[in-house]
Amino acid sequence: MKTVAFHTLGCKLNFAESSTIIREFVEKGYTVTGFKEKADVYVIHSCVVTQQAERKCIYALRQAKMRNPEARIAVIGCMPELNAERLRKEDSDLLLLGNSNKFELPDLLDSTTESIDKKPETFMPSWSSEGRTRTFFKVQDGCDYFCGYCTIPLARGRSRSASLNETLSSISEATAHGCKELVLSGINIGDFGKKNNETLYQLLCKIKELKNISRIRLSSIEPDLTTDDIISLMAENPCFMPHFHIPLQSGSDEILKSMGRRYDTALFTEKVQKIKKLMPHACIATDVITGYPGETEKSHEETMSFIEKTDLSYMHVFTFSERQNTRAIKMENQVPPNIKKLRSLELHELSERKKLFFYNQNIGRISEALFESETLHTNLLGYTDNYIRIKTPAGQELVNSIRKVKITGIDADGICSIDLL
């Protein structure tokens, strides 16, 4: 029996798609093994969001060749779409599949064709599971926004999704194994259904009626697509978790305009205030890019000040990385690496302060938590409805259960202790 090993880089969408492809391999009789083991087939699911992501892909490729020089190696996803030449320099015998073709991988392994190229136009629903507790489900792919720093529209194509009814049918299949939480994922999920004259709001209204899902969580959604209808729906229905991830990217309106973002800081503030008014304990996370071309010290200070005064829970900080075929790479006033590093450190420190403040606000609050299969030392880990990571020394009988808890404190690792109620 042949063995296959996967190494997935990048976003939750990649992980959901890897799980779907793995299921196809299992159906064909393959045994799935760890990437550090010797395997007959190695699959690297790539990412190109940053230079570091591309370096990690090359490193994984070299590791696979060392573990079994005779193995068939496939690199799939975004890097074959945008930088196949770099991969060919590493190994001319690679099987390279882009984002439309990667789902055909199990059927193409014996192909003599070195790469299969098609424009990403089709939509393939995909889902992954963290143990049996949570399923990440892809409802949308691609993007029509073409922001100045981003290669995703080039790598994944234009925005697309299945129909509402097709999506609901796939969700029922994905959640049939008994998971408690459904996480809706995509490149730009607020664009769901656009080409079918359907909307994300309509999808959420239908999903909340499904009987076998206890909790529904949204992944990242753009500020301009976070409609008041969606916010109100989530506030009014307890099946929706009070947790939002809304990308900011910069607290400077001048930089936002240069990036080509479709909102300003005033609109972002309006969305945060609306959420907090209806869901005071909601977790609101964000993304910030530091060191974008033209970002002055004044721009950076505006970003720091905006985040400081905005009711955000924490942020993911990304240092601007030059990407080929983007507007940003041609711009003047590139920020020196040492300045980018200093600004990144300041933003990371601010994020930690915001997160600690948010966690402290929740001490003494009673909420519902879903316990995962993940453990740390002798503790079982889980997440509250508003995405606070918690721990308890209780036994494994709590895995995949939802329990009322009271947060009692925060440890040195930033994980909250609880009382079970």
Strands, E assignment, 343-400? 366-376, 379-384, 389-392
Q: Which CATH architecture has domain 366-420?
A: Beta Barrel (2.40)
Residue at 82: amino acid letter? L
> Which tokens belong to 400?
């995949």
Instruction: For residues 289-309, give the mean pLDDT.
Output: 98
∠ at Cα 283 (277, 285), nearest 5°?
115
Every domain of the chain with CATH number 3.40.50.12160 lies at 3-116
Contact (Cβ atoms closer than 8 angstroms) between residue 142 and residue 158 = yes
Q: Which residues pair with 370 in a beta bridge?
A: 383, 402
Number of H-type helices and E-type strands within the chain: 13, 18
**Higher-pLDDT residue of 111, 32:** 32
- CATH for 3-116, options being 1.10.10.60, 3.90.1300.10, 2.40.50.140, 3.40.50.12160: 3.40.50.12160
The pLDDT of residue 233 is above 60? yes
Instruction: For residues 135-157, give the mean pLDDT.
Output: 94
The pLDDT of residue 410 is above 90? yes
pLDDT at 326: 94
Question: Residue 154 belongs to what H/E stretch?
Answer: helix 152-156
pLDDT at 111: 62
Contact (Cβ atoms closer than 8 angstroms) between residue 414 and residue 388 = no
The pLDDT of residue 117 is above 70? no
The pLDDT of residue 369 is above 70? yes
Question: Residue 53 belongs to what H/E stretch?
Answer: helix 51-67
pLDDT at 269: 98
Please give the backbone phi and psi of residue 340, each rounded to the nearest 5 degrees, phi first: -60, -40
The pLDDT of residue 178 is above 70? yes
pLDDT-based confidence at residue 397 (cuts at 50, 70, 90): confident
Contact (Cβ atoms closer than 8 angstroms) between residue 102 and residue 77 = yes
**pTM of full prediction above 0.85:** yes
The domain over range 127-361 is classified in CATH as 3.80.30.20: yes
The pLDDT of residue 174 is above 80? yes
pLDDT at 241: 98
Interval 326-367: pLDDT, tens: 999 999 999 999 999 999 999 999 999 999 999 999 999 999
Contact (Cβ atoms closer than 8 angstroms) between residue 75 and residue 56 = no
The pLDDT of residue 420 is above 70? yes
The pLDDT of residue 383 is above 60? yes
Interval 9-55: pLDDT, tens: 998 899 999 999 999 999 999 999 999 999 999 999 999 988 899 99
Coil, helix or strand at residue 210:
coil
> Which tokens belong to 187?
């490149």
The pLDDT of residue 131 is above 70? no
pLDDT at 399: 87
pLDDT at 396: 66
d(Cα 371, Cα 383) in Å, to the nearest integer?
7
Question: In 3D, which of 211, 221, 152, 213 has the Cα closest to residue 185?
Answer: 221
* String of DSSP letters for 294-355: T--HHHHHHHHHHHHHS---EEEEEE----TTSSGGG-SSPPPHHHHHHHHHHHHHHHHHHH
Interval 83-95: pLDDT, tens: 999 999 998 889 9
pLDDT at 176: 85
d(Cα 61, Cα 65) in Å, to the nearest integer?
6
Q: Report residue 1 CA to chain centroid gap.
A: 33
The pLDDT of residue 395 is above 80? no
The pLDDT of residue 181 is above 80? yes
Every domain of the chain with CATH number 3.80.30.20 lies at 127-361
pLDDT at 160: 95
Every domain of the chain with CATH number 2.40.50 lies at 366-420
Contact (Cβ atoms closer than 8 angstroms) between residue 372 and residue 381 = yes
Please give the backbone phi and psi of residue 330, each rounded to the nearest 5 degrees, phi first: -95, -5
d(Cα 151, Cα 110) in Å, to the nearest integer?
31
Contact (Cβ atoms closer than 8 angstroms) between residue 152 and residue 198 = no
pLDDT at 130: 60
> Which tokens belong to 2?
């042949």
The mean pLDDT of the chain is 93
Contact (Cβ atoms closer than 8 angstroms) between residue 186 and residue 161 = yes
